[in-house]
Structure formats: C-alpha cells, structure tokens
Structure 1
Amino acid sequence: MRVAMIVEYHGKGYSGFQYQENAPTVQQQIEKAIQSLTGQPVRIKAAGRTDAGVHALGQVVAFDTGSNYPPDTFLNALNARLPQDIAVREVYRVRPDFDPRRDAIIRLYRYTLLVSKVRSPLWRHNSHQVRPPMSLDTMRKAASLMTGTHDFANFGGPLEIPEASTVRRIYGIDLRPDEAFIQVEIEGNAFLPRQVRRMVGALVDVGSGRLKLEDIRKQILRAEDAPVARSLPPQGLCLVSVKYADFPPRYEE
C-alpha cells in the first residue's frame, strides 16, 4: 500500500529535508516515526528537497508499507512520535504509482521579508530583515520580467546532473505588503537549487536601488555582464503547497 502525507515543519534545527548520513534531517525524523509505528524500515519520497533552515507548510511525501492502518491511525500515531517542529497534517491512501515529485505540476513558495531598521527577535527564524525604503512598484516590475518560461541558470545553484536543463516556468510572482512585512509568493512548475532565494534576492536589490531593471533582464538573458544573483538566507523561505492534476490520487481496493 502506498501512503501520501502532507507535512508541515520548521526547518531551523535540520540540515535540510533530504537524508544525510551525519546530520539531522526532516526525512530521517519522518522515516524513524514510520518505522516505530509499523516495525518496517521505510524510505520516503518528497515533492521538494528543501535546504537547511527552509520551512514547509505543505510538503508532500509518499511511502510504501505493508501495514493496513487507516489514514487516521497514521496521522495520530506519527504525530505522537514526531518532534514538535514536524507535524503530519493529512494522510491518504493513494494509487501505487503516485510519485510526489514527478507528478507535481505546480509548487508554491513564499519568502517573508521584514522591512525594518530594527531586527525582530520574534521573527528571526522565519523572515529576513531588509532595511527601508523598498520600492514595491519597482520590485513588481522586476517580478513581471521573471514571469514566464526562461533559462534560470543565473539564479540556480549546482545541479545533481550538470547537463540537466535549467529552463523553468514561473506562473506568477505576487508581492503582498503586510504591515512591516513583504510576502513574496512564487509559483512555478519546478525550481532549481536556491532559485527562489536568488530570485527574491534580485527583487530586494531592485527594490533597494542596488540593481536596475536592466540588470534583471541581463540576468534572465544570461548576458556576460549580468550581475551575480545573490542568495538570501534560508529562514525566510517556506514551501507553501504542491499541486497535482489529481490529488489525492484515487485509491481502489
């Protein structure tokens, strides 16, 4: 039986989602909880491999199990076994070929900017501080340049397969001011390593006047004189949701 779950976690205490031999990860904690419940070793698949310090509201994971526990039992029993910074929000039985990564069609990330001259101890692990003033209008113009299908090589980190395509489709970028914050939501079919953090870094640099709109055009066109897109810290980033053509995939006994 294949089980899919929607998982929320705070990334501060982890070296990313994906399993690592000598570092704590979200994947390790979830697999440990599942094995404790079922008595069977397990390896889960995830929709996104979030970096160290990155959070998630709607990470989607899936795994195979010989246990016949109903979804509610998995939900309650796993949450009783998981640490307080990880929670299973929903559990479904899904079709055997469901793949949370390959079947995903849209991923939504949110980056939280604190626009303030003074740091916030309360928000230090969930946002990145930038100093005012920030031109929201100019940031939105830059965001419109990034929307669509482009080669985002200048915004991505190293790839597992160096020759893999760096073309991605961005469906929309929404900048929403909220008191002292700017929430930057980016929706795309898939993302390169660190792409979202570098895209938001470019938006911040445009909003502060450090970069011009022409610099963003050069970055997207991969011009030789394009400025380097800097990556913002991980703590402001959150994987909000993952969308599928059919979710939960229909399960038939």
Structure 2
Amino acid sequence: MPRLKLTVEYDGTHYVGWQLQPNGVSIHSRLAQALEKLLGERVALEAAGRTDAGVHATGQVVCFDTERTLPLKAYWMGLNGLLPDDIAIVRAEEVPPEFDPRRWSHGKRYRYRVSNKPTRSPLRRFTHWEVFAPLRLEAMQRASTHLLGRHDFSAFRASNCQAAHALREVRKVDVQGTSGDELSITVEGTAFLKHMVRNLVGTLVEVGKGRRPEAWVAEVLASRDRKRAGQTAPPQGLVLEEVFYGDGPPPRTPGGTADAEDEE
C-alpha cells in the first residue's frame, strides 16, 4: 500500500485552521474531500502540525496511505484541479510505510510578517500584523538573542496549551526589514508550543516600540509566567514555511519532537 507525502501551501484566511472542527471549514476537510474525489476512497490524513485559524503555510506536510497507485503528478496536477484557489499541492512523493510527518520532523521554520507603515494597508491586512508605531529593528534583533537555545518556554505558551511540557529548543530568530515599512521575524526550532511563535513576536514588538528594554525578554523567559510576556500577535502574519526531515526520526529528547497538541 503506497504511503504518500504531500507538501501543501495555503492561505488560511477563510479557514478555522488545519484541524477538523465543528464550527467551520478547515484545510484538512478541503484536502480530504479533494483526495476522495481523486482516489475514489476516503483516506486518513496526518499532518506535521496544526495551524490555527487565519495562519498560512507554504510548507505544511501531510501524509496518507491509499489502496490506489497513481503517478506522482496526479497528486499535484490532479489535486490542484480539485482544490479551491487558496490551497495547493506543491510537491508529492512516496515515503516509507513507517514515515510519520510529526515524529520524523527534525524541526520547523516559521516566518512572521509585520507591516510597520504609519497607515493601514489594504493589501497587507490578511498577511501581516499592522503595527503603526515605528519599531526599532536593531533593538528587536538584540533582544531576540535571549530566546536562542533550549529553554522552558512556559512564558510563551497559550493558556490552553495541552503539551506535556514546555521545554523547546529555538535554533534561530532572525529579525529583518525596514522600520516604517515591513519587518519579518523568522523562527526555527525543534518543535513549538501552541501560539509560541506569536507570543515571541508580540514580546519582541514590545521592545521594538520602546516600551520594554532588551534584557526584559530574558527576564520573561526565566519567569515562565505567560502574564509577563507581550500580547499574542494576530494569526494572519504567521506562515509555516518548512518542516525539516532527515533519513529517519530524530533522537527522542525532551523538546526534540512535536507534541500531539503542537499548534500555531
């Protein structure tokens, strides 16, 4: 029985997120419907992680088993003809039967985009967080270094996060752009807690506005207290860009693999 891995790009604006939910249409449901039309059977979809309502992706990874054997191009050319315009398959490949898109992940990269124009931007309202106050780019860059490494990120997890623990390793935080125009914050790590990237961004923006000193970020991290961190940045600025894989699952160390409730 073939096992297929799909890389999926989507605009999450009009969806309740990746996960199937009773209160609206999800990315999962749209993809499952298209696959059923293509294959003539229902398949069980497994994803590298959940994305929340309004969050986008260029590199979500989805896996499934099927009784049918089709040429790989059918899974991107054929499926893209069945999917809505805001969801597309960008790559399809066959993987070993034991491949697990979540447990085999060696890490993920997210990018968060901030519009820093002094007035609202109609073209950016679904893809950026609009912050009108000028942001100090260099201060945000220096503050972000406090987040690197393996730490307890309890101060940056959602209050309803169901992960077993908050130990995570952040490999990279890169703040780039131009104050008064557009900034992007790229975060790479082994795995993430619910709303973790958005809470990191909200905290860095507090520094960028000059409301908090750069060292405050280290104090928040050490406190493990969500109430001390910045606001949760809105979902539309966040993009899941890539999920990283090796030849097999990574060593099972605390914070080294995604939890079942891993969600952004």
Q: TM above 0.5, one fold?
A: yes
Residue 168 (structure 2) pairs with residue 168 (structure 1): yes
Residue 126 (structure 2) pairs with residue 125 (structure 1): yes
CA positional deviation for 1:225: 10
**Equivalence for 2:260:** none
In 2 relative to 1, CA 148–72 (structure 1 residues): closer, same or farther, beyond 3 Å?
same
Query: Which stretch of the first structure deviates more once superposed, 109-118 or 151-160?
Result: 151-160
**Equivalence for 2:64:** 63
CA contact (8 A) 1:34 1:78 kept: yes
CA positional deviation for 1:224: 6.4
Residue 164 (structure 2) pairs with residue 159 (structure 1): no
Distance in 1 between residues matched to 2:108 and 2:177, nearest whole Å:
21
Runs (4+) of structure 1 exceeding 3 A deviation are 223-226
Percent identical across equivalent pairs? Answer: 38
CA contact (8 A) 1:198 1:229 kept: yes
CA positional deviation for 1:246: 3.1
Name the aligned partner's letter for residue 155 of structure 2. Answer: N
CA contact (8 A) 1:215 1:227 kept: no
CA contact (8 A) 2:155 2:228 kept: no
Distance in 1 between residues matched to 2:112 and 2:226, nearest whole Å:
27
Distance in 1 between residues matched to 2:224 and 2:104, nearest whole Å:
33
In 2 relative to 1, CA 130–93 (structure 1 residues): closer, same or farther, beyond 3 Å?
same
Distance in 1 between residues matched to 2:106 and 2:157, nearest whole Å:
20
CA positional deviation for 1:226: 6.7
In 2 relative to 1, CA 95–125 (structure 1 residues): closer, same or farther, beyond 3 Å?
same
Distance in 1 between residues matched to 2:99 and 2:224, nearest whole Å:
40
Specify every segment of 5 or more residues in structure 1 that has no aligned partner in the other structure, as ranges: 248-253
**Equivalence for 2:190:** 189
CA contact (8 A) 1:154 1:229 kept: no
What TM-score, normalized by structure 1, do the two folds share?
A: 0.93
Distance in 1 between residues matched to 2:66 and 2:167, nearest whole Å:
36
Distance in 1 between residues matched to 2:222 and 2:11, nearest whole Å:
35
Distance in 1 between residues matched to 2:161 and 2:177, nearest whole Å:
33
Distance in 1 between residues matched to 2:189 and 2:224, nearest whole Å:
23
* Post-superposition CA distance 1:21-74 (Å, at most 9, x none): 341000000011111111111121111200000000011110010010111112
**Equivalence for 1:218:** 219
CA positional deviation for 1:241: 0.6
* Post-superposition CA distance 1:66-119 (Å, at most 9, x none): 010111112111111100000000000110011111111120000001111101
CA contact (8 A) 1:218 1:226 kept: no
**Equivalence for 2:16:** 15
Q: Which SS does the other structure have where 2:13 is aligned? A: helix
What TM-score, normalized by structure 2, do the two folds share?
A: 0.89
Q: Which SS does the other structure have where 1:159 is aligned? A: coil
Length, aligned pairs only: 245
Specify every segment of 5 or more residues in structure 2 that has no aligned partner in the other structure, as ranges: 249-264
**Equivalence for 2:228:** 227
